[in-house]
Structure formats: C-alpha cells, structure tokens
Structure 1
C-alpha cells in the first residue's frame, strides 16, 4: 500500500514533480528575431516620421519652411506636411500679431520698472533729458526677419534707442519738453523706419509714441514744469485773444460796410435832391426871364404863405382915393372847391 505524502499542515498533496535535467528550452528561430527587430525599427521610423512631418500653425502665426537650411516657402494657419528633418525644417513666427516694446522702462503686469540707461540722454544744448517711448511693430518679411538679424527684438530696441538719441541730441531741451514733442516723435519714427529698411530686418514699424520727455527729477524738473505751465498759459491767452480777434474783426468789417453803404445812400439822396433843386430853380428862372414882375410877385406870395400860413392876404392899390380890394382868399377857396360862380 502506498501512502501519499503529507504536508506539514496535515493536508494531503499530489506527488511533487521532479525536474528533468536532460530537457532543452524552446529554440527561437533567427527569422523571428529579425522580424521583431524590423517591426521595432519600423515603429520607431513611423513615429519619427509622424512627429517630424506634420506641424500646426496658429491663426496669428506664419511658418517659414527651410529645405536643407535654405528658405523655400511660407505656410499659413492650419495643419501642414513637410519632409522629415533634416530634409526640411519649420520656423514658426507670430507674423500676424501686432507687438510692442517699451524704451526707457519695462512693464510686468501692473509693475513698471524704469531703465535709466535707455531713458537718459543728452540734448543739443548739453542738458540731460529722460525720454520714454512705446514702439508698435509687426513682422513684415519672414525671410529677412529670420536670416538678417539674430535677435530681432534686441535689434529693434537698440535701433529705436539710437533713433531717439540721434534726434533729441540735435534739439534744445526747452523745445523737446514743450512744443517740439510731436515733431521730434515724427522724426524719430521716420529714422527708425529708415534703419529697418536699410538693414532689411523684415520688421514693419506701425507707430512710435513718447510717453514722457522731461528733465530729471528734483529742482530741475520743478523749474521746467513751471516753464511748461507758463508756456501753456501763454498759449491759452493767445488762443483767447485770437478768438476775440476773429469775433470782432468780422463784426467791425460788417459795421464799417454798413456805414459805407449808408453814406453812399445819403450821398445819392443829397445829389438827387440837389439836382431836383437845380432843375426847379432853372424852371423858375426861365419863367422869371419871360415875365420878371409876375414871377417876382408869385415868389413873394409863396414866401409869405410859408412864413405866415394862417394870414389873410389883401392886395390894394392906394394910388387913388378909392381902395381897390381883391379877395384872394375867397377866390382861392372857390378855386379849391371847384365853384365857378
């Protein structure tokens, strides 16, 4: 009778297998190893091709494609295919984005940090002035932007600072901090654009605006601020005076023209009256020449009527004893009423 082996725990167990020292492990065929290696290499190649042959360009970006390091073409936003590196490379730049840099200070969030080395400069009359500016720009030519300058932003900052120093260095301090700010700003913008074109940086300058042009702080700043306030007050008074002048001169011209027209009318009226008087006198004179006594008597009577409008006129002849009476008033009254009796 065979008894089964007992486990230490008292449970029954099957017979323990005994390894065969003469048994060989399964053999792997050489073709299988080759296929595995080829599969791994193929996966790696496909992953490499997929990761280097497709690229995505965002809306505000453009991509320059370089074939063996030479610029060939550009692509816009979207998903694009290229030959894998090192055959073709892609450099993506924010060509559709308007960018800005500051000169004389830096902004980080709500914090503004002055940069004295950029802001301080000497004017044409050997005074020190502080100038802060903002330059707005964008990429105009990607090929020039990537190949002609190594650090575009630093080049733009240096060229803007050089342009500002060049223009302010030829102006007087008083002019730079008062009336000349706008003119200096335009000159600096033109000079900065000229530098970008000269070196073919591919950068388009959209605008340049000064934030401040002022002398250094302290007593000098207070003195120039007083000068600026006085100049502004002067300009205000000049503008008020010019406004008053513009209001009064047209009004005075109108009044003068009215007086001239009134005098001309008075002149014409008097000339016409004088001509009428002359014509009347000539008519009376011609009648007087024909019959002087009658005309003379009539003139006397008309004059008496004007002098004594309410007097009764009697014409008598005192040569004889009998008074001859001519009732002129009754005759005139009858003549006026049309009574012929």
Structure 2
C-alpha cells in the first residue's frame, strides 16, 4: 500500500520497507520480531511411515527405491517362515506321569498318547485333551462339606426308602478313576456327573431291597459291596471308561426329625429280644431237667426190672427161702422207723423179759450218737 511501500517498484525480498529496514507500520512504527516456534516431538505419521519402510520397504524409482525393493523381497519369506514355525510349535505338548492325551483330528478321535513329549498337527487340524487316568476321583452323595469337619445334609439325595417302607438318611462317598481314556472323553458328555447319578440310583436300589435296622447295624458292608457291583455294571453298559474303586457308607440312620421315635422303637425291639432270650433260656433249662428226670426214672425202672428178674430166678430155684427173705426185707423196710418189738411165735421168747425198760434205755443211747454227730 502507499503508506507501506513508497518505492513504486516491485516488492523487495524479505518483506522490507522502501528504505530497506523491514516492513513498517503505516505510521512508521517497526514490526516486532517474531519468536521462534517451540521444539516439538516426532510426528506420529513420520513414525508410522518409517516403520512401514523398515518392514516392507518404501519409495519407488531411483537407486534408493531399488535398494528398498530388494530388502522387501528378503523379509517376506523370513516373516512367513517365522509364522509357520510358530504355528507348528503349537503342536508340541508334554504329558505328565499318570496322564494320557486324547488326540482328535478334525473333531474325530485319532489316537491316545502316554507320558512324555509329543507332537500333533497344529490347530485346527488336530487338537488334544489331557486326562489324569491314575489319580483317584471322589464323589460325595447325600451331603456337602464346605470346609473340614462341617457336614451339611442334602435331603434331596440322602433320604431313601427301605424295603420295610421306612426312611433312611444315607451319606456315602464314591472313589473311582479312569480305565479307558477314549471312552471317558467321548462316550459320556459329563462323566463325573454321570458317576454321581449312577451312584445315587444304585444306592437307592440296594437300600430299597433291605430293611432299615440291618442297614444301620449289621449289613453296612454288604450294602457297600452291592452298590459297587451295581455301579460298575451300569457304567460298563454306558461304556464310560470309569473304574469304581470303593464305596464308603459314611452314615446310615433314621432322619433327624424322627430319630427319637426310631430310637424308642429300637429300644423296644431290644427289650423284646431280651425277653425272648430269657424265655428261651428258661425253656432250655426246664427241658434239660425233664430229660435228666426221664433218664433217671428209666434207669431206676431198668434196675428194678433187672432186680425182679434176679429175684424171680432165685425164687424158682428155692421158693421158700426166697419168700422168707422177701418177707423179712419187706418188714424191715416197713418197721425201720417204728418203735416196735416183734416176736416171732417160733422164736420162743420169755414173756417176763423187761422189754419196756430195754426200750427206754436204748432210746437215749440211740439219741447220743446222733447228738454227737
């Protein structure tokens, strides 16, 4: 403008005024110098461009472009090789002692491998599933143990009906492991849950065949053996690959709500059994005494019969002597305790003999030996 450029010529380089001292304001004031811009960090676009050039080469044409193109031709195979090696490395796996790995190829069972370092084709061609086959697994039925020494009853699982239509509260534990890893993985969707369901079903069937009192007293071992055999048969039919090792019957009793009434019934049964045992004992004693009496009477009768036969034999040989002997023996038994004196007419006794005095003297004499004894 006229007040800024009075030279009339072309504008001067550097934006100076007509007198060469720089641009001026309309009233002759000089413009203050500009401050230099503050330093800035690296631009993000420049960083991305530099990274692309280093990885894939950048620019086209010229010797520089040719050089970068050659570097790009060397890096693509290297990157592809690293990716392939990393992909193949995902197929390397290890199996610990006591474990087995199941290898599937495109979802279908292919093989099983034991402990050691192995290789399978990387995903998605082949995949693996490692299973512990020797470790013991447990399933607790009828109760829950949130922590040690704490047992919470689960009525939906523990209450079972016995053969005599009573209700029993059953807590038990199943110990099992894997005997066929391929069947364990493929034939049953959830093997552990299948074991729980089969165990509960088997226990209900065994309990339903027995009475309550033997279950909680004398037949606990038979119940465990029956459940174990029935479980193994059912799991084998399912081809589950499970081996039942042990069934532990932890609790077998009447439900807590009726335990007092049940105890009264048990006590009454025990009292009845005690009375029956006492009656059987008295019966046995009476029978033994009767048998002893019978044997004694039979022996006495046999002895009397033999004695009679012997006397009859003697009587036949000497009838008069035998009659006198029998007479005397009979009279002796009859008058053994009598205070009498018997005189035989054939004896010729003297009638003036003081028999009464003799009797009175003999009576104290007979009493003294008895008193001394």
Q: Normalised by the size of structure 2, how large is the TM-score? A: 0.51
- Check 1:68–1:185 CA distance in 2 against 1; reply closer, same or farther (3 A cut): same
1:119 aligns with 2:119: no
Corresponding residue for 2:184? Answer: 145
Corresponding residue for 1:329? Answer: none
Question: Per-residue CA shift, 1:262-318, capped at 9, x if unaligned?
Answer: xxxxxxxxxxxxxxxxxxxxxxxxxxxxxxxxxxxxxxxxxxxxxxxxxxxxxxxxx
Report how far residue 175 of structure 1 moved: 2.8
- Check 1:225–1:58 CA distance in 2 against 1; reply closer, same or farther (3 A cut): farther
CA distance in 1, matches of 2:145, 2:84: 46
Which residue of 69, 75, 79 maps to 1:36?
75
| Structure 1 counterpart SS, 2:71 | helix
Query: Is 1:178–1:228's contact at 8 Å kept on the other side of the alignment?
Result: no
Query: Is 1:60–1:94's contact at 8 Å kept on the other side of the alignment?
Result: yes
- Check 1:121–1:39 CA distance in 2 against 1; reply closer, same or farther (3 A cut): same
Report how far residue 183 of structure 1 moved: 1.9
Which residue of 199, 209, 226 maps to 1:170?
209
| Structure 2 counterpart SS, 1:83 | coil
Corresponding residue for 2:262? Answer: 224
Aligned pairs, number:
215
| Structure 1 counterpart SS, 2:86 | helix
CA distance in 1, matches of 2:270, 2:231: 30
- Check 1:25–1:129 CA distance in 2 against 1; reply closer, same or farther (3 A cut): farther
Alignment RMSD (CA, Å): 3.1
- Check 1:91–1:228 CA distance in 2 against 1; reply closer, same or farther (3 A cut): farther
CA distance in 1, matches of 2:251, 2:267: 16
- Check 1:112–1:46 CA distance in 2 against 1; reply closer, same or farther (3 A cut): farther
Corresponding residue for 2:142? Answer: 104
**Structure 1 residue ranges without an equivalent (≥5):** 1-23, 239-341
Q: Normalised by the size of structure 1, how large is the TM-score? A: 0.56
Report how far residue 233 of structure 1 moved: 9.8
| Structure 1 counterpart SS, 2:170 | strand
> Based on CA coordinates, which of the two structures has the bigger radius of gyration?
2
- Check 1:231–1:150 CA distance in 2 against 1; reply closer, same or farther (3 A cut): same
Report how far residue 149 of structure 1 moved: 0.3
**Structure 2 residue ranges without an equivalent (≥5):** 1-61, 277-373
